[in-house]
Amino acid sequence: MEYSYQQSVSSQMEQRGGAIYRQSILTNEEFKIVQKELSTLTNRLNDETASTVAVHRQGARLAPNSQTYKILKSGSLFDYIRKVSGDDSMVLSTNLPVEVRLYEKVGASMAWHEDDVLYDPPQVEAVITIENNSDCVTMWKDGEKLLSRETDPNSVLLLQAGGPLHCVTSLKRGRRLILKCAYRSGNASYREGIHKETFGVSKSSKRKKQKSKR
């Protein structure tokens, strides 16, 4: 079955070709909480195993009881998603994990692709930059127009699944830390068997589970 992402979006998302970049997306308080929580995870990330478009990336999924997860579920980004999608029923997807993703190894990059359509109607994917002192450039297409940004800390790039092609150029220096999550319409149906586990839980969480089994 084919999906037309233009049919599932309205207002600002449609006007901008299914992609929106915005700076200062989280409140100062929210951003400080997220920075603090993620600072304890960056040395416990796993190498990516499932992606066919990204190389040399590391990451882990966040626990639903984490402070960051709760902010994404009901904070300022959540409100903004509902506004630009024109859908007051939009919610954070529970089928897709919230993931921390790190570009730090030389050569870390993501090839041109469009996000898989995992819901009907298609979900909105959010890429929130937490830290970026790298030379990575995020690029996306709006029709024939090519847009690019060295994404700023506390910015978000929203992408309609099945919509704009996008990529991240190869890292040569520095590092870029992001969060990736998805929002779906309240009445959306999930397409089973498409999503693949990318990173798994953080290494610290794995150790805790192993201890609890002893």
Domain that holds residue 41: 5-186
The answer to whether the CB of 61 falls within 8 A of the CB of 101 is no
- Say if 51 falls within a structural domain: yes
Is 130 a domain residue? yes
Q: At which residue do the structure tokens 């709760």 appear?
A: 70
Cα(107)–Cα(136) distance, integer angstroms: 10
196 within some domain: no
Q: How many domains does the chain have?
A: 1
Rounded distance, CA 107 to CA 170, Å? 5
Length of the chain: 214
The reported pLDDT for the residue numbered 209 is 47
Whether residue 212 is contained in a domain is answered as: no
pLDDT score of 28: 98
Q: What is the pTM of this model?
A: 0.87
CATH number for the domain including 70? 2.60.120.620
What pLDDT sits at residue 144? 83
CA angle at residue 161 from 159 to 162, to 5 degrees? 120
Residues near 29 by beta carbon (within 8 Å), at least 6 away in sequence: none
- The per-residue pLDDT string of the chain (214 residues; one tens digit each, 9 = 90 and over) reads 444 444 444 568 888 889 999 999 999 999 999 999 999 888 889 888 766 689 999 999 999 999 999 999 999 999 999 999 999 999 999 999 999 999 999 999 999 999 999 999 999 999 999 999 999 999 999 888 999 999 999 999 999 999 999 999 999 999 999 999 999 999 999 997 665 667 667 665 544 444 444 4
Q: Is residue 141 part of a domain?
A: yes
Q: Is residue 200 assigned to a domain?
A: no
Is 135 part of any domain?
yes
In a domain, 107, yes or no: yes
